[in-house]
Structure 1
Amino acid sequence: EPGSSLIDEVGLSGVSSRWRLLINPKPAAEGVKTFNCRYCGKIFTDSSNLRRHTMIHTGEKPFKCPQCSHSSNRKGNLIAHIMSVHRKLSETVYISTDPTLSKQK
């Protein structure tokens, strides 16, 4: 029967609203240009969001850490990496090499 699917058979009771939206996304407003992911079919109304999303499927990680081999598909994730890994490392190196900090008064 048209429109029937395993999801329809199982039903959506107990499924969070977020998952319902992923299963049955709301259509874009009439006249709004949409961009579809060729890998999973997810629909976007902004081409830059589609480009960013596509990196999840392709594995592309254009944001490279200048201090190690880490790379990310999001600039914010790279900044978080640098702050959590390299900032602590530089603080540790600074503390361990500063002779004034090792002297007790």
Structure 2
Amino acid sequence: MSGYQYLDVKLKLRDPDSVTLTPVFLCGCILNSLASIFGEIGGQTALEIVKFSSSQKRSIFRVPEAFLERVRIAISLIGYYQEEPCHFQVLSTSRKPLDFEEPDAEFIAFN
């Protein structure tokens, strides 16, 4: 069984006040991109948000190592979030859990 990789991802929006940033919408946006680029992705997509900060517009995702390249490609090709032009940036990738400095960050676990 392969291990996991953690991705620290930042969302940059043209007009941040025009969208509702939630972990569910963010994960759905990435999953939609995966499906549109690679077709049906099935159960191999164990994409989990382990930490989320709406004020920093950042999330830490946990993905299986074997699926990492597809996720990075899908993230880099996203151009819209809730019909607002955007750009996703992968700030770092690690085999060890990542963290970002913010006391009000929300911990999310999707299992």
Q: State TM-score, norm by structure 1.
A: 0.18
Higher RCO, Cα 8 Å, sep 6+: 2
Q: State TM-score, norm by structure 2.
A: 0.17
Q: Which has the higher strand share?
A: 2
Q: Which has the higher helix share?
A: 1
